[in-house]
Amino acid sequence: MFKRSFKMDYIEKVFPFNSNGMPVVVVDAGQYGQIFVPTHIENADEMFGILDKYC
């Protein structure tokens, strides 16, 4: 399984998306790619709190 990673400084935007009926948050870093994060994960509130500043 390939896991994408990039620095937090590269994040351009964060937005909700529905992927095949599964709610996710897309973390978009432009040329560095995107990460799709399921909303139902452990410690989601803490992580999404950090990502709020990119919305």
Strands 13-19 and 22-28: antiparallel
Q: Is it the case that residue 27 has pLDDT exceeding 90?
A: yes
Which residues, in sequence order, are CB contacts of 48 under 8 Å at separation 6+? 25, 39
Residue 30: what pLDDT? 94
Share of the chain above pLDDT 70, in %: 96
Rounded mean pLDDT, 12-23:
90
CA distance 7 to 19: 24
- As a whole number, mean pLDDT of residues 14-36 equals 92
Q: Could you count the other beta carbons within 10 Å of the beta carbon of residue 32?
A: 14
pLDDT confidence bin for 1, thresholds 50/70/90: low
Q: Please, are residues 9 and 35 in contact by the beta-carbon 8 Å criterion?
A: no
